[in-house]
Amino acid sequence: MLAPRHVLRELFDTAVAAARPANCMHTWLPEKPAGRVIVVGAGKAAASMAHELEKHWGGPLSGQVIVPHGHGAECRWIEVIEASHPVPDASGVVAATEILRSVSNLGADDTVVCLISGGGSSLLCLPADGVTLAEKQAITSQLLRSGAAIHEINCVRKKLSAIKGGKLAAAAAPASVITLIISDVPGNDISMVASGPTVADASSASEALNILERYAISLSDDARLAIERSRPVAIAEGEVRILASSDDALLAAAALAIKRGITPYLLGDLRGDARVLALEHAELALQVAAGNGPVEPPCVILSGGETTVDVRGHGRGGRNGEYALTLAIALNGHPAIYAIACDTDGIDGSGDNAGSFVTPNTLHRADAAGLDANVMLDHNDSYEFFRRTVDLVITGPTRTNVNDFRALLIANLKD
């Protein structure tokens, strides 16, 4: 078997490649519609999706897509606008306003193509009447630190928005709407990817208020009133195609593992607290290494989905770093177990890394550097921990996003 870190990085790169628009879009792209075509969208993959759309359809096209800073791609006809993620900013509001304007007053012979991917919720920011940008920023920041799941966060976002929850599609009527999605949501609930700007919202105002109460999120009277007044919008059923998801990434990684003589064991899309999941995976990996698991070494345990973190410290890092640091502590330097945990968009939380490796030597290097892994975990400071142990995975923005990728490689020490 190749060096374990090399194998893990190869598996991650293969998973990301499976979700890149250049590799997945042509399979699902419909024929270019007749008549006027307006292209809009938001998310970490939106610019690369727009680039591929232009390449396959050619001109004339027009429209705008919004991406996080650093996630752009060269487009000839479609304007690429950069805005803030994961907390929205004024640039996103200006861009979302222009997108809503561009799809208004269209005719029945026109077509709107909406390119949606993870990250679109914060980028496509247009506060509902009575809600300020500052309040949306504050509510978003609180929710992101609270440990709330993505479907809970997006439920609230839709109630505070003038463009999410199907409102973009409503504005585009009577034009046809085609939505192309690279999904970062466990289970591929299309109403939750970028908070479903072209998909009907089935959630209620009371659900959003209950979520805010559950996580003790402060709310002004105006914002509360906006949520209470929110109502689902009636929209025509449009065409929706999922171009790539976590399943595609995991299957691509599994196929490569088989080629490398490693048995894959897929856990699928997972959610939950990052620390709890790491402890469960450590227990499973230790069982496998001891010969008591559902699969025999050499093997790799693969999973995707999205974990959550209840941020209480003031350190730096993301959910994959939190998972990896918890895993490293639980494995305690087991000689047969290696791991990688990364975000497929290339950015894990507040760092510049995609995620981190865990190796049998990680804790040894931490001890040599004078680091206390448990203290750094308490401070939510996984980035600094793995920076000091030289275990960060750096990719830069990948311009796609199918959420997290985790792989635990268990070597056969008898070989």
CATH number for position 71: 3.40.50.10180
The alpha helices in 316-372, defined as continuous H runs, are 319-331, 362-368
CB 36 within 8 A of CB 109: yes
Task: Give CA–CA dist 19/244, Å, rounded.
Answer: 5
- Do 335 and 391 reside in the same domain of the chain? yes
Contact 298, 263 (CB under 8 A): yes
Structure token digits, residue 9: 């990085």
Q: What is the mean pLDDT of residues 175-201?
A: 95
- Does one domain contain both 253 and 112? no
Cβ atoms within 10 Å of 107's Cβ, excluding its own: 9
Query: Which amino acid is residue 343, in one-letter code?
Result: D
CB-based contacts of 198, cutoff 8 Å, min separation 6 = 114, 116, 166, 168, 169, 172, 177, 179, 235, 238, 240
- Regarding whether 208 and 176 lie in a shared domain, the answer is yes
Neighbours of 98 (CB within 10 A): 15
pLDDT at residue 139 tops 80: yes
Domain termination residue (choose one: 244, 263, 294): 244
Q: What is the CATH number of the domain that holds 375?
A: 3.40.1480.10
Would you list the DSSP string of 185-229? STT--TTTGGG-TTS-----HHHHHHHHHHTT----HHHHHHHHH
Final residue in a domain of this structure, among 216, 244, 272: 244
Sheet holding 392-393, edge to edge: 263-273, 299-308, 404-410, 337-343, 355-358, 392-393
Please count the structural domains in the chain. Answer: 2
Contacts of 219 (CB under 8 A, 6+ apart): 139, 212, 227
Q: What is the mean pLDDT of residues 61-71?
A: 96
Does residue 273 share a domain with residue 168? no
Q: Are residues 227 and 272 in the same domain?
A: no
Q: Report which of 178, 181, 160 is spatially closest to residue 118, judged by C-alpha positions.
A: 181
Residue 237 lies in a domain: yes
Domain assignment present for residue 278? The answer is: yes
- Region 59-80: what's the mean pLDDT? 95
The CA distance from 18 to 249, in Å, is 6
Q: What pLDDT does 59 receive?
A: 80
Q: List Cβ neighbours of 357 (8 Å cut-off, separation of 6 or more).
A: 5, 8, 324, 338, 339, 340, 386, 391, 392, 393
Domain of residue 153 covers: 24-244
pTM score of the predicted model = 0.94
Query: Within 10 Å of residue 23's Cβ, how many Cβ atoms?
Result: 17
Same domain? For 202 and 311 the reply is no
With tokens 């350190």, the residue in question is 315
Q: How confident is the model at residue 266 (pLDDT cuts 50, 70, 90)?
A: very high
Q: What CA–CA distance (Å, rounded) separates 26 from 89?
A: 33
**Minimal CA–CA distance to 339: which of 249, 244, 277, 405?**
405
Is beta strand 176-182 parallel, antiparallel or unpaired with respect to 239-244?
parallel
379 and 270 in a common domain: yes
Q: How many residues are listed for the chain in this entry?
A: 415
pLDDT band at 415 (very low <50, low <70, confident <90, very high): low
Over the chain, what is the mean pLDDT? 96
- The answer to whether residue 330 is domain-embedded is yes
H-helix or E-strand spanning residue 67: strand 62-68
Is residue 29, in this structure, part of any structural domain at all? yes
Confidence check: pLDDT of 1 > 70 = no
Residues 276 and 228 in one domain: no
Look at residue 27 in the predicted model and tell me its pLDDT: 85
pLDDT for position 111: 96
Residues 194-215 have a mean pLDDT of 96
Over residues 194-210, mean pLDDT: 96
Cis ω before 294 (30° cut-off from 0) = no
Q: 277 and 209 share a domain?
A: no
Average pLDDT on 277-291 reads 98
Q: What DSSP string runs through 24-45? A: HHHHHPPPPPSS-EEEEEESTT
Same domain, 238 and 269: no
| Structural domain includes residue 32 | yes
Give the residue carrying structure tokens 């004078």.
370
**Which helix (H) or strand (E) covers residue 23, if one does?**
helix 21-28
Q: Do 290 and 373 share a domain, yes or no?
A: yes
Q: Is residue 185 assigned to a domain?
A: yes
Can you tell me the distance from the alpha carbon of 388 to that of 87, in angstroms, rounded to the nearest whole number? 28
> Domain end: 244, 265, 299, which one?
244
The pLDDT score that the predictor gives to residue 353 is 98
**pLDDT at 227 > cutoff 90:** yes
238 plus 279 within the same structural domain = no
Q: Which of 367, 397, 366 is nearest to 44 (CA)?
A: 397
Q: What is the pLDDT of residues 145-175, one digit of tens each?
A: 899 999 999 999 999 999 999 999 999 999 9
Widest pairwise Cα distance in the chain:
69
How many of the other CB atoms lie within 10 Å of CB of 293?
18
For residues 51-76, average pLDDT: 94
| pLDDT value at residue 197 | 97
Residue 415 lies in a domain: no
